[in-house]
Amino acid sequence: MVGGQPDVSVVVGAYNAMPYLTKCLTSVLEQSIGLDRLEVIAVNDGSTDGTGAELDRFAATCPVMRVVHQENSGGPAGPRNVGIELARGRYIFFLDADDYLGVEALERMVAMADRNQSDVVLGRRVGVNRGTPQSMFRYNQDRADVFTSGVWNILSAQKLFRKSLIDRLGLRFPNLPIGQDQPFTAKAYLHADVISVLADYDCYYLVRRDDGGNNTTRQKDIRVWLNFVEHMVHLVAEHVAPGEKRDILMQRHFRDEFRRLCFSERFLDAEPEVQAEAVAQAKAIVDEFYTPRIAQAMPVDGRLRFELIRRGDVQRLAEVIQFHLAGAPAEELIEDGRVYLRYPFFRDPEVGIPDECYDNTRRSLKVEQVEWVQGSPLTLAVSSRRRLGDAVVKLSHGDTVFQIPSQRTADGGYRALVPLPTAAAGRPLPPGRWRADVQFIVDGEVVKTVPVPRPAGRRRMLWLRRKDPAAVGVSRTGPFAILVAPLVSSAVVRAVAAAVRRRLSARK
């Protein structure tokens, strides 16, 4: 607590949250940060199941907890906005009443925020009977770039926000039928000076309720979803100029909300006239914002959907969705070094959909295994069961690049051996932090570059190199990298020692 001000205001909006609420509140009161650094603001949003009584029971024994009872507002936005108005903490954390916190979550997130002057801290999330994105949690990120870190894939509000950022922007949760979190969090991300990611501790446990979910997942009307997607793509367009950065953020909304949530079962379940209206509304969005760069990032089923939306082809769009939802894998065609998936209408002359809509080459090229070669802790093996064209391991430090080609394996894959003592074209790597990537080259063109993941198993992280003396290791945090630090050779040490002895002898 700074000057009598709580470090964190935990805002819990609760509507018919029993029995999950008990574990949620218990996890707050057991936080290692201590109650003297917290305040808890719980808003009962017109519950009818005993939620209000449970909140009052906790508040009776917790002097830092305040309970507000109000009529039902129809969604999570109202209770959260009440919490913002009442919060006195330097930071606000929004906790859903179904979920719970790891014991050290708030202490660790506040420490990270104070250390980095973070405006937003995203703590590692764990799904309980449900999934949650994990790509942004590979390592801690003190300063995460919104365009490259993956944080845009989690736009829910369960994060630590600096209260002064919320006040400066006048941020409040909009009263939308679904997705109230996304505009709030998106604006916070886009205006934040520093976003941090705490990846080495399980901070937030995201629980799937036994009754099947929340207001968002239960919403079946495709028109509601389309209006929401339209809101979000225009928000991105308002804040980010056209180009690669905008496309990176737009990808998420086309891939997830647009493709997976709008044009899926909800589309098939709609009446024919609603389907036609939905395609017309979606076509306007696609025509304005769907770029070739976004298309390249889509899976084949997504590219096909957007191509048919652009054409206004309701019937064939439904057939593609039905094919995908049936779950049977599409047959592959490997031709001229590229992989195509035989989704409906592939090379159908009556339809004329271009081959690039079916091209799955980029997604089929991947690193499947990274390991230390047995008996040689200084040699990495990078491999996969599939090879198209060439795969090259690229080690780069600044403008200096060394490449290690791969060899074809008996099963048609590739395997590249990276010996650390001789990885610089047969010589030891010079000092520096050497980033490791795999480049996939088809017909002379680099079609995909992916970071080398960390090797399987636990091996020694530091070795001493005698030839061209250096300490050689691998990064413990951040993307996988090879670290080389120069050492003074024993001969130099002996020569310096001898010079010192001679100088001391001369003074006597």
How far apart CA 239 and CA 188 sit, in angstroms, is 12
Which residue matches tokens 């449900």? 130
- Please tell me the predicted confidence (pLDDT) of residue 458: 56
By the 8 A CB rule, do 295 and 250 touch? no
Work out the pLDDT band at 158, boundaries 50, 70, 90.
very high
Average pLDDT over residues 156-184: 96
Least Cα distance to 391 among 446, 455, 338, 337 occurs for 446
pLDDT at 372: 86
- When pLDDT is averaged across residues 416-431 and rounded to a whole number, the result is 88
Q: How confident is the model at residue 464 (pLDDT cuts 50, 70, 90)?
A: confident
For residue 190, give the nearest of 119, 125, 291 by alpha carbon: 119
Tell me the CATH architecture of domain 365-459. Sandwich (2.60)
- CB-CB contact of 258 with 222 (8 Å): no
Query: Of 147, 148, 144, nearest to 198 (Cα)?
Result: 144
What does the pLDDT average to over 269-274?
A: 95
> Which tens digits make up the pLDDT trace of 21-74?
999 999 999 999 999 999 999 999 999 999 999 999 999 999 999 999 999 998
At 111 the pLDDT is: 98
The per-residue pLDDT for 217 is 56
Does residue 277 have a pLDDT over 90? yes
Q: What is the mean pLDDT of residues 202-211?
A: 89
With 0-12 CB in 10 A as exposed, 13-18 as middle and 19+ as buried, what is 468?
middle
Q: What is the maximum span of the chain, computed from C-alpha positions, in angstroms? A: 104
State the pLDDT at residue 444: 86
Which residues, in sequence order, are bridge partners of residue 379?
419
Question: With pLDDT > 90 as the criterion, what percentage of the chain qualifies?
Answer: 73
Q: Is 306 exposed, middle or buried (0-12, 13-18, 19+ CB in 10 A)?
A: buried
Residue 215 confidence (pLDDT) above 80: no
Average pLDDT over residues 110-118: 98
| pTM, two decimal places | 0.85
Lowest mean pLDDT among 139-143, 360-364, 456-460: 456-460
What pLDDT score was predicted for residue 420?
82
Instruction: Write down the residue that tokens 């660790």 correspond to.
Output: 108
**What distances in angstroms separate CA 259 from CA 153, 184, 304, 344, 506, one per listed residue?**
15, 22, 10, 17, 82
Q: What tens digit of pLDDT does each residue of 297-317 get?
A: 999 999 999 999 999 999 999
Give the pLDDT score at 491.
Answer: 59
In this prediction, residue 216 has a pLDDT band, given cuts at 50, 70 and 90, of: low
Model pLDDT, residue 463:
74
Q: Given pLDDT bands bounded at 50, 70 and 90, which one contains residue 499? A: low
Instruction: Kindly report the average pLDDT of the chain as a whole number.
Output: 91
The CA distance from 70 to 51, in Å, is: 12
C-beta of residue 49 within 8 angstroms of C-beta of residue 20: no
pLDDT of residue 160: 98
What is the pLDDT confidence band of residue 274, given thresholds at 50, 70 and 90? Answer: very high
Q: Which of the four CATH numbers 3.90.550.10, 3.40.190.10, 3.40.50.720, 3.40.50.300 does domain 8-207 have?
A: 3.90.550.10
Q: What is the pLDDT of residue 33?
A: 97
Specify the pLDDT at position 139: 86
**Residue 457 pLDDT > 90:** no
Residues of the chain with CATH 2.60.40: 365-459
Q: Residues spanned by CATH 3.90.550.10 within the chain?
A: 8-207
Is 378 or 132 the better-scoring residue by pLDDT?
Answer: 132
pLDDT at 170: 97
